[in-house]
Amino acid sequence: MKKLNVGMIGYGFMGRTHTNAHRQVNAFFDIPFQPILKAVAGRRQDAVREFAARWGYESWVTDWRALVERKDIDLVDICVPNNLHAEIAVAAAQAGKMILCEKPLALDVEQGRRMVAAVDKAGVPNLVSFNYRRVPAVTFAKMLIDEGKLGRIFHYRANFLQDWTISPDVPQGGTATWRLDVAAAGSGVTGDLLAHCIDTALWHNGPITRVNAMTETFVKERMHADTGKPQPVGIDDACTFFCRFANGSLGNFEATRYARGHKALYTFEINGEHASIRWDLHDLHRLEWFSHGDEGKLRGWRSIHVTDHGGEQPYMDHWWVPGLQIGYAESFVHQLADFLVAIAAGKPCAPTFRDALQTQKVCAAVLKSAAAGAWVDLPKE
Ligand code: SOE
């Protein structure tokens, strides 16, 4: 097993999920690399030092550039606010590093294009962390669709509902609330939440051709954590859009941080000619399934507990015994295992930067449509 030196940039929520994956992956997956927690970079010295000690990093730095320049780093893992993704990823690609980057790819399409060009030019392996693809039930849904079990697809609908920004006292900017600051995040729920739904939808159901959206910013002004002064809010608090897919199906998407009672309710439902499936992040090991092919008197929704061994259900052979479930954290372990296996095989691992650029384009079209109050076509690739 070859050692793979990891340089982590960021130590927040995502820094923890990714670091946990680096620590877990060899215990559960036979892969040709052993991640070594070589260095972590973060702006605040006390915080980065504490993170390095807690999670077992060999060293820490307060300037990400110092980490990217280090000869002993193989893989740069980008877990910082969206406005830093492009600069770090381009520098990491130029330094010849493998790159794992948090979602969304970038602030906008132009930055995303530069990132794709940089990894293409350098020929370095790259992956964007749309982790929900690797929840076993979500991967299983993809397998059923690809096997043709749903037949022609008519409808794809997805929601991502939260409620943590309803209070006008929640600031924008700063460490924990940068997602509310348009300069750091690029957009609100569109880039943060809908990007997940769009990534899964493009993977499950193919390209989106046109979108029609509306957005709302319910709280127009918030104190900025950096200045302590009230500032206009530039992000979308809620976004709803409908769309057409290239396969002829219709899509319906909604994301909001104003759905009182919902903390992180990502759900999707897909209706096909022969069958329907639906999934719910709060019950993430289950895939709901309805088949019109079932005997009439027994026809109804069934709940598949996606925990079986034997290879017919994804990932679960690597964990405990059938019937015992795993959760959110393990989707990051799966993503890392898939990435490292692909690197060893010299193959791309989806969603690559190029794949994630498609999601970025759909997000951009959604925001453009909401601003214009009109349909927006996605350019044909
Ligand atoms: C926002 O609250 C957030 O943490 C997103 O940034 C993540 O991508 C999502 O998985 C959960 O919600």
Our answer on whether the CB atom of 264 is closer than 6 Å to any ligand 1 atom is yes
**Could you read off the pLDDT of 147-192 as tens digits, one per residue?**
999 999 999 999 999 999 999 999 999 988 999 999 999 999 999 9
- Residue 109 falls inside a structural domain: yes
Distance 13 CA to ligand 1 centre (A): 9
- Residue 120 falls inside a structural domain: yes
Q: What's the confidence (pLDDT) of residue 54?
A: 98
Cis check: omega of the bond before 104, within 30 degrees of 0: yes
Q: Reply yes or no on whether the pLDDT at 381 is more than 80.
A: no
Distance 53 CA to ligand 1 centre (A): 25
Q: Which atom of ligand 1 is nearest to the CA of 103?
A: 8
Do 90 and 7 share a structural domain?
yes
**Could you read off the pLDDT of 115-134 as tens digits, one per residue?**
999 999 999 999 999 999 99
Do 89 and 40 share a structural domain?
yes
Which candidate, 248, 290, 249, 287, places its Cα nearest to that of 268? 287
Q: Which residues of 56-80 are buried (b: 16+ CB within 10 A; e: fewer)?
A: ebeebbeebeebbebeebbbbbbbb
* pTM more than 0.95: yes
Our answer on whether the CB atom of 102 is closer than 6 Å to any ligand 1 atom is no
How long a stretch of residues is the chain? 381
- Residue 334 falls inside a structural domain: no
Distance 334 CA to ligand 1 centre (A): 18
Domain span at residue 116 reads 2-132
Do 154 and 69 share a structural domain?
no
CATH, residue 77: 3.40.50.720
Do 303 and 176 share a structural domain?
yes
**Could you read off the pLDDT of 213-269 as tens digits, one per residue?**
999 999 999 999 999 999 999 999 999 999 999 999 999 999 999 999 999 999 999
Triad 253, 259, 261: Cα angle to 5°? 130
- Residue 379 falls inside a structural domain: no
Query: Residue 172 gets which letter from DSSP?
Result: B
Report residue 379's pLDDT band, with 50, 70 and 90 as the boundaries. Answer: confident
Do 285 and 311 share a structural domain?
yes
CATH, residue 250: 3.30.360.10
Distance CA 145, CA 183 (A): 38
Q: What's the confidence (pLDDT) of residue 77?
A: 99
63 Rama class: left (phi>0) / alpha (psi -120 to 50) / beta: beta
Do 142 and 36 share a structural domain?
no
**Could you read off the pLDDT of 267-323 as tens digits, one per residue?**
999 999 999 999 999 999 999 999 999 999 999 999 999 999 998 999 999 999 999
Helical residues (DSSP H) of 56-194, grouped into ranges: 64-69, 85-94, 109-122, 136-146, 182-185, 189
Do 273 and 144 share a structural domain?
yes
Domains contained in the chain, number? 2
DSSP readout, 274-316?
A: SEEEEEEGGGTTEEEEEETTS-GGG-S-EEEE----SSSSSSG
